[in-house]
Amino acid sequence: MSNNFEVPTTISDAISSVNYSPVQSTNLLVSSWDQTLRLIDTHAGTSGRELLQIDSQAPLLDACFAGSDGKTAVGGGLDQAVKFFDLSRGQLTSTLSSHSSAVKSICYNSELSTVISGSWDRTLHLHSTQSQSHTSSHTLPHKIFSLSTIQNKLVVAMASRSIHIYDLRNMSEPFQRRESSLKFMTRTVRCMPNGEGYASSSIEGRVAVEFFDPSKESQSRKYAFKCHRQPEGDVDVVYPVNALSFHPQYGTFASGGGDGVVALWDGVAKRRLRQYPKYPASIAAMGFSHDGRYLAIASCNGFEDGKETVSNQENKLFIREMGDNEAKPKSMG
Amino acid sequence: MADPVQLSTIEAQKENIIPLPGGRSARALAQSILASEDTETQNLDHAAAREAFENELKTADELDDPLDPYLRYVKWIQEAYTSGGGRILERTLYRATHKFEDSPEFKNDPRYLKLWITWVQTFSDAPRESFAFLARKGIGAGLALYYEEFAAYLEAQGRKTQAEEIYEMGIERNARPVERLRRKYDEFVARLAANPPDANEPSSPAVPIVRAALGERRAEAEPRDPQAGASGFGAEGQAPQKKKNKMMVFSDGPGASAPVLPEETDRGGGWDSITTLADRKKENVDAPRPWAGEILKQEGGPAPKKEKLQIFRDPGALQAQSQQQPALTASGKPRRPERVFAAFELVYPHGESQDECDFDEIRARARGLLNVDWSEMRREDEHRRQRQKQLDRDRAKAQQEDEMMMDMLGSRHAVVEKEPEVVQDENAKFVTKSTVVTLALSSSPKAKPKKLKKSSNMQFSTEPTMTMHTRAANDEIYSIFNQPFVAQDDFAASGKKQDSSDEEDDDDEDETEQTDTMFSQAGHSVAGKEEEEEEDQPDMLKGAFTDDEDTGFTAVDVDMLRKKHAEDDEDVPTEELEQLQIDSENIIPEELMDEDPHTIYNQRGSRHLPFMTPIVEQTESLPPSTIRGRGRRKSTTTPSKPGRAGGDEPLIDFRASPIQEVSHHDILPDKDIEMGGMDEKENVPEEPLEKQKRSKPTDTLLISLEDLEPKGKAKEVKKPTNNALQPRKQPPPPSSKQDDSGSAINDAQCNPMDPALRDVILSKLPQPLTTFKGFYDNSSQPSKRTDGIRKYIRAITATGKDAPKVIPSQPVIGLENGEISYTIRKEIGKGAFAPVYLVENNMAGMYDTADGEEEEDAAESATIGTSKRCELEAIKMETPVSTWEFYITRLAHMRLGVHRATQSLVNVHEFHLFKDEAFLVLDYFAQGTLLDLVNATASPNNAMHTQSGTMEEIMVMFFTVELLRTVEQLHEKGILHGDLKADNCLLRLQHVGGNASNSNDAEWSSAYDPHGGSGWDKKGLVLIDFGRGVDMRNFRKDVGFIADWKTDKQDCPEMREMRPWTYQIDYYGVAAVVHSMLFGKYIETTTVTGDNAPGRPKKYKIVSGMKRYWQGEIWTEMFDVLLNPGMFVEGEHGGVMPITKGVRRIRQKMEEWIVANCERGVGLKGWLRKVEEGMKKRK
């Protein structure tokens, strides 16, 4: 079975994203509300240590590695800027562009070496990592909540349950415009590693799995399921599903909810593989390492109820080491 | 009469004979019974007879009396079928009755009515309805029989009221024979009298009133809500109009005879026909169908899916509900209701139609970060980055200069001692000199200045470079320099030597100012970027110079500073000196040998000014109030000194001969004033002396002396009695004139926190409080800001259902007509009377604009207490108002001057006094208090948690040293904090090195330097909350204080035992703080047993025991001294408290130990860094 341990950190506020390096499977990029971007070696010593800490001006809402060497990163947050960090030198190198509202989500497409940032100002900005410059902007109908990209596809989850799928090679028009299969606000969208589709989660304890292929046959494969809920008397309390992460090899995925539970799903067999014991607080972000051996889990007091939890703040980072077959779908034996 | 009927035959079959109302013929009975024995023949007979009747019926319409054949047929059936005609009779009766129901000629035919009644009684499944039907059709309406039968039926059903109604109706209608009807009615009445009707009987009319038309009815039922419909149920038991989903309209199968709809248009009479039950129920009977393809429903199978009945919800109520609690939301298949754990009202603030808000957005909004104008900050950032680049360049340059200087210092250091008295001149000369240099700079290309400077540095100073940096940059450079700038004196001297011909008139500030401007211009051209500054610069400068108070203070400060040098830390350990010398490469002039090294470290040349004056610019870490401004002020005023008031002489003397510890006892009052302004503050603590007024304070003091002295003496009479109470040996009242001279209060015993007493003290200030810089007197008007702030705080801290839907916008406190404004962020300290809020200084940008030079200027233009302004500051809101804390904090700052301990006093930037409340603007330290640290250490979830749950000993000792040093200094300057506890000690772990964003701390040595070197001066504590502060110089030397508040274990024993106290309060406070750090719990003391013989003073010790591996000796000694300060007065000055020397001894022991042990294991630096990280940006 898997091994779960906590990485002691100095993170003093909610974590907004965790991303493993595309190269080293122990280097984790963590952005958080305490205005810092950290690079943590999750397996240094007994329980990991912080390699790097770069202060930002404002709380960071998202960050990711920009480039396939794991030496550069981009981040964005409330200060509306898309920032480019040089991790080898441990500093901010440049500001790629500025939105007119907070940068909510940021992602990097390795095939096109493009950094895409989405903001509450309803715009997408595309940047080239080679020239470290802002290449284009695109206005969308709603606030952008989550971005995910795979191959040449970009999935943009927006407010009002709107989802646009772009072909990054042709950004003039969305490739597809869709409405979320879920009833309420979309929290996260993540593309399948095989590029066939994506999973999206909402605040009402549901995850939808959909496919890019517009053919009827493919579309009929889409489904949604319920998760992250706890019975309370006659009522099911359903929690927001804040985080999704696909296993890079097996295509199974993990979901993390406001209830502090992490579950592992086999999207093909439509089965739950595992559900892990509850974490101390809401799961804010998750990420598999590039080799799928580790799952980083950020557990922080969420803001689902609109309240700042003053006492007993939990801002913790856990690493779950995946057993050999732990995330393997049953169908693969 | 032929053969009589054999009764026996009848007898044998009598159970099978249905009685007829009119009786049966025995013969016919016997015949039919006999015939029935031969069933076959009988059947044949019957069939034949029936066929005959049927045939007759077919032509009945042609008869005069078409009813007759029916009557006969019925009669025959009744006779022929003794056991009842069954279906045959029913069908016949049905045909007979229904055939003529609309024929008026039979309506009152008793025969026809009898047929009906027979049918009703025998076959009708709802006789009452049938009777009602007859009534509606008017059949038998004129016949008494109908009424009798109907009433009898009703009576039998227990509906006596209705029966009576029927009788009455019949009588009214004169139904014949009315006589018989009357008789029957009378009989009925008689029965009724004997057996009165039940109250529960239905009271509806026997014959229901028929609605006019169903169509209208439907119209009435227009509001389709089912509940309203329920009240309109038809009297006929008509089912309410349920909204059924697609109910198929029943239609008869093709084979069935379609019911003939009567053609009459008048359908007001209700039903057109009344038929058999089966007929009426035919819709409910499934028509026979082939089995093929039919599915047999299994019992116990899943219940068929039905659409759920929608529960009616008031949209308004729903909305209200959703505001109160997380919304109940039914999802697609509500097997179980779901409640989404999310604040829907926040997610959908504009309703569902509009864009929802992400949780992050909600969080950002709640924290007030959403609508921040980041672009502004970004620009600044950009700026900073550019400057950073420049800084890198400059750093290299500075380094070179540094090296240069080192060389020079080495060679020149001897000069100073010889010519200290010419400082003034030097000053002026240097001004000129540097001007020349910078001018040269400004004309040279960017790259060149370096070289040029280098060469000029050979002769002059590094000063000009400073002008083009931000303060951060400056500090950066300073830290690189990181060596005593004392050397500048040497420079001054040496410079003078070299350029003695260049003497200039040193008279005024103008000169200096001019220099400034030139400097800055030079800076511009070099920087080449910061054009805007040029516009601002003059203003800033003007501000700096025109302020009277400013300059006023200056004089004092200068003196104070000077004096400090001599005064501070008389017994600096030798090693300290050694170290210093190493640091400065043996260039420390002898004169300065005895100074607090810290002072030396912090001396930096102000860019504006010739550096000769030893005490000048300060690095960031010092509570800037004093220092920053001071350098500036000093620079402006120093040159002018000689011309005024003749105060120069002693000053120079002073400098020339490093007088050690010129304590107040030894100095004559007037000298005192001129010398330092330090001691004179006993009486005029805040006095913003202007140099022009130099002599004035002396007068004031003298007057006050005269005033006070007799009083003091008068009071002294009382003293012996009070002293009697004190077990502690009271020192003899000092006879020195000066001792009493300063005291505003001459009571031998009093409560120093008594507001009235404080008022007296404040009223005696030579300079009214209102003239203090940063004091804003609006005491005439109410402020009324409290409510708004409290409301906001409540709103953001509320949890559970109290939490308001909308977080109110952050209150902004605008003061002085909006010139100053603060945005409340959150509450950081609770208190019934004085909550403390974290605020954003909206004017921070004003002090600290994007341009570095202005920043510096701004800082310099500020006076005491309003030096370095930060974006985040703290506001203490006091209700009821008290000016004391402001006063005493400022006083403490002034008294301590540039001593290192000043860093450990909180800065008061502004004080806004209103009628109803007061705002005290303080520095904000984000790292929390010692108490927080203690708690964090004890909390197992915290990163700082240690195995023991208490802080590391070395860290405790480090903080103890900090605390002791501060208290020591405060006491030496006659100030009591009065409320020392762990929550009044803020952590001050500042960045070492100029670049705050990158805390690699390279310049922070892991080797502890007790004198604050290697970055150690940036780490320490800050004491806050001087609300209980006491200025001992307001009191007689032998005063004893009495507390009038309820005491507890955290108060010193003297207080608890109602004995008078003075400095004990702080010593005990320190002991309590240290105790809580060491043991993680509050201090508890006990008397040492066996040692409390009567007459002997009690001795106290702590209850908790030390850990074995601790430095028990040091700690025990410390507690010993702090808890029993009265026993350690020996050897102190005058043999009385404060026991500064004793405390210092302990502190030095601790410092030694820390030095020896600071690099063991994690090391002190490691621990502090851990704390720094752990407490960083703590929420």
Q: Tell me: the pLDDT tens digits for B927-955?
A: 888 888 888 887 776 766 676 778 888 88
Most confident among A75-84, B428-437, B743-752, B904-913 (mean pLDDT): A75-84
Cβ–Cβ contact B369 with A under 8 A = yes
Alpha-carbon gap: B629 to the closest alpha carbon of chain A (Å): 29
- β B775-778/B908-914 pair status: parallel
Q: How far apart are CA B665 and CA B655, in angstroms?
A: 20
DSSP B367-433: TT-TT--HHHHHHHHHHHHHHHHHHHHHHHHHHHHHHHHHHHHHHHTTHHHH-GGGHHHHHHHHHHH
- Nearest CA to B432 out of B501, B373, B358, B381 is that of B501
Q: How far apart are CA A94 and CA A82, in angstroms?
A: 9
pLDDT of A138 reads 92
Phi-psi region of B949 (alpha: psi -120 to 50; beta: other; left: phi over 0): left
Residue A274: its H or E element: strand A271-275
Contact A81 B797 (CB under 8 A): no
**From the candidates A9, A308, A314, which should be mutated to test the interface with B, based on the most B CB atoms within 10 A?**
A308
3-state secondary structure of B1009: coil
Q: In degrees rounded to 5, what are phi and psi of residue B672?
A: -50, -50
Residue B91: its H or E element: helix B86-99
pLDDT at residue B369 is higher than 60: yes
Average pLDDT in the B53-79 region?
81
Complex ipTM, two decimals?
0.90
* Domains, in order of start, for chain B: 7-194 (1.25.40.430)
Contact B361 A240 (CB under 8 A): no
3-state secondary structure of B165: helix
Q: List, as ranges, residues 240-269 from A with C-beta within 8 Å of B.
A: 240, 242, 258-259
Residue B1138, preceding peptide bond in cis (omega within 30° of 0): yes
Identify all chain A residues contacting B340, using CB atoms and an 8 Å cutoff. 184, 203-205, 237-238, 240
Contacts 24+ apart (CB under 8 A), B842-847: B842/B812, B843/B819, B843/B869, B844/B869, B844/B870, B844/B871
pLDDT of B571 reads 44
pLDDT of B271 reads 55
Whether A148 and A198 have beta carbons less than 8 Å apart is answered as: yes
Residue linked to tokens 């772009």: A166
CATH number for region A3-305+312-332: 2.130.10.10
Average pLDDT in the B1039-1056 region?
76
Kindly indicate the confidence band of residue B299, based on its pLDDT and cuts at 50, 70 and 90.
low
Alpha-carbon gap: B936 to the closest alpha carbon of chain A (Å): 11
pLDDT of A301 reads 82
Contact A57 B374 (CB under 8 A): yes
Q: Can you give B357-379 as a three-state secondary structure string?
A: CCHHHHHHHHCCCCCCCHHHHHH
What order of strands is seen across the sheet that includes strand A49-55? A15-20, A27-32, A36-41, A49-55
pLDDT of B593 reads 42
Among the partner residues B374, B382, B803, nearest to A58 by beta-carbon distance: B374
Identify all chain B residues contacting A229, using CB atoms and an 8 Å cutoff. 338
Contact A185 B358 (CB under 8 A): yes
Alpha-carbon gap: A304 to the closest alpha carbon of chain B (Å): 5
Contact B377 A57 (CB under 8 A): yes
Alpha-carbon gap: B528 to the closest alpha carbon of chain A (Å): 22
Residue in chain B closest to A55 (alpha carbons) equals: B997
pLDDT of B475 reads 63
Cβ-based burial of B411 (10 A; exposed 0-12, middle 13-18, buried ≥19) = exposed
Q: List, as ranges, residues 884-943 from B with C-beta within 8 Å of A.
A: 941, 943
Residue in chain A closest to B1172 (alpha carbons) equals: A10
Cβ–Cβ contact A143 with B under 8 A = yes
pLDDT of B799 reads 60
Q: How far apart are CA B92 and CA B366, in angstroms?
A: 88
Can you give the residue ranges of every domain in chain A?
Answer: 3-305+312-332
Kindly indicate the confidence band of residue A209, based on its pLDDT and cuts at 50, 70 and 90.
very high
Alpha-carbon gap: A315 to the closest alpha carbon of chain B (Å): 10
Q: How far apart are CA B1100 and CA B1087, in angstroms?
A: 4
3-state secondary structure of B439: helix
Q: List, as ranges, residues 69-98 from A with C-beta within 8 Å of B.
A: 78-81, 91, 95, 98
pLDDT tens-place string over residues B682-727 = 444 444 434 443 433 333 333 333 343 334 333 333 333 343 333 4
Instruction: For residue B723, give both structure tokens.
Output: 């002293």
pLDDT at residue B507 is higher than 50: no
Contact A10 B1174 (CB under 8 A): yes
Average pLDDT in the B877-881 region?
77
Average pLDDT in the B723-744 region?
42
Alpha-carbon gap: A123 to the closest alpha carbon of chain B (Å): 14
Kindly indicate the confidence band of residue B241, based on its pLDDT and cuts at 50, 70 and 90.
very low
pLDDT tens-place string over residues B896-917 = 887 888 888 888 888 888 887 8
Beta bridge partners of A64: A74
For residue B765, how far is the Cα from the chain centroid? Answer: 41
pLDDT at residue B71 is higher than 80: yes
Q: How far apart are CA B1096 and CA B1126, in angstroms?
A: 12
Contact A78 B364 (CB under 8 A): yes
State the DSSP code for B240. P
Instruction: For residue B1019, give both structure tokens.
Output: 């780490």
Q: How far apart are CA B1169 and CA B1179, in angstroms?
A: 18
Cβ–Cβ contact B799 with A under 8 A = yes
Task: Calculate the average pLDDT of chain A.
Answer: 88
Helix B531-546 with B548-567: angle, nearest 10 deg: 80
Contact B359 A102 (CB under 8 A): no
Q: How far apart are CA B668 and CA B661, in angstroms?
A: 14
pLDDT at residue B371 is higher than 50: yes
pLDDT of B313 reads 60
Most confident among B62-71, B436-445, B464-473 (mean pLDDT): B62-71
pLDDT at residue B574 is higher than 80: no
pLDDT at residue B179 is higher than 80: yes
3-state secondary structure of B284: helix
pLDDT of B1029 reads 86
Whether B904 and B965 have beta carbons less than 8 Å apart is answered as: yes
**From the candidates B322, B324, B339, B348, which should be mutated to test the interface with A, based on the most A CB atoms within 10 A?**
B339
Tell me how many helices (H) and strands (E) chain B has: 46, 17
Cβ–Cβ contact A236 with B under 8 A = yes
Average pLDDT in the B419-427 region?
40
pLDDT at residue A119 is higher than 90: yes
Higher pLDDT, B530 or A100: A100
Beta bridge partners of A3: A321
R_g over Cα of chain A: 18
Q: List, as ranges, residues 977-1006 from B with C-beta within 8 Å of A.
A: 997-998
The answer for residues whose C-beta is within 8 angstroms of residue B578's C-beta and 6 or more apart is: none
Kindly indicate the confidence band of residue B866, based on its pLDDT and cuts at 50, 70 and 90.
very low
pLDDT tens-place string over residues B98-118 = 778 777 778 788 888 888 888
Kindly indicate the confidence band of residue B1088, based on its pLDDT and cuts at 50, 70 and 90.
confident
pLDDT tens-place string over residues A68-88 = 888 899 999 998 899 999 998
Query: For B760, what's the count of Cα atoms within 13 Å in the CB-facing half-sphere?
Result: 15
- Nearest CA to B1084 out of B1058, B1118, B1053, B1049 is that of B1049
Q: List, as ranges, residues 519-558 from B with C-beta within 8 Å of A.
A: none
Which of A192-196, A325-329, B15-19, B1108-1112 shows the lowest per-residue confidence on average (mean pLDDT)?
Answer: B15-19
Cβ pairs bridging A and B (under 8 Å): 156
Kindly indicate the confidence band of residue A157, based on its pLDDT and cuts at 50, 70 and 90.
very high
Cβ–Cβ contact B338 with A under 8 A = yes
Identify all chain B residues contacting A91, using CB atoms and an 8 Å cutoff. 998
Q: How far apart are CA B938 and CA B926, in angstroms?
A: 20
State the DSSP code for A161. T
**From the candidates A185, A188, A283, which should be mutated to test the interface with B, based on the most B CB atoms within 10 A?**
A185
pLDDT tens-place string over residues B887-898 = 888 888 888 887
Beta bridge partners of A106: A117
State the DSSP code for B1125. G
pLDDT tens-place string over residues A270-316 = 889 889 988 888 899 999 999 999 999 999 887 777 776 655 567 88
Higher pLDDT, B1173 or B586: B1173
Tell me how many helices (H) and strands (E) chain A has: 1, 30
Give ∠ CA B582-B587-B593 in degrees, rounded to 5.
Answer: 85
pLDDT at residue B650 is higher than 60: no
pLDDT at residue B399 is higher than 60: yes
Cβ-based burial of A197 (10 A; exposed 0-12, middle 13-18, buried ≥19) = buried
Beta bridge partners of A146: A157
pLDDT tens-place string over residues B328-359 = 344 444 467 788 887 777 787 776 667 788 88
Higher pLDDT, A262 or B499: A262
Q: How far apart are CA B215 and CA B230, in angstroms?
A: 18
Higher pLDDT, B88 or B545: B88
Q: How far apart are CA B97 and CA B78, in angstroms?
A: 16
Kindly indicate the confidence band of residue B1113, based on its pLDDT and cuts at 50, 70 and 90.
confident
Instruction: For residue B238, give both structure tokens.
Output: 């008509």
Kindly indicate the confidence band of residue B479, based on its pLDDT and cuts at 50, 70 and 90.
low
3-state secondary structure of B843: coil
Q: How far apart are CA B912 and CA B886, in angstroms?
A: 10
Q: In degrees rounded to 5, what are phi and psi of residue A178?
A: -135, 160
Among the partner residues A80, A235, A304, nearest to B338 by beta-carbon distance: A235
Average pLDDT in the A184-204 region?
92
Q: List, as ranges, residues 284-323 from A with C-beta within 8 Å of B.
A: 302-308, 310, 313-314
Residue B177, preceding peptide bond in cis (omega within 30° of 0): yes
Buried/exposed code over A237-274 (b: 16+ C-beta within 10 A; e: otherwise)? bbbbbbbbbbbbebbbbbbbbbbbbbbbbbbeeeeebb
Kindly indicate the confidence band of residue A127, based on its pLDDT and cuts at 50, 70 and 90.
very high
Most confident among A2-11, A140-149, B218-227, B466-475 (mean pLDDT): A140-149
**From the candidates A84, A304, A316, A317, which should be mutated to test the interface with B, based on the most B CB atoms within 10 A?**
A304
Average pLDDT in the B1103-1124 region?
86
Alpha-carbon gap: B921 to the closest alpha carbon of chain A (Å): 24
Contact B372 A78 (CB under 8 A): yes
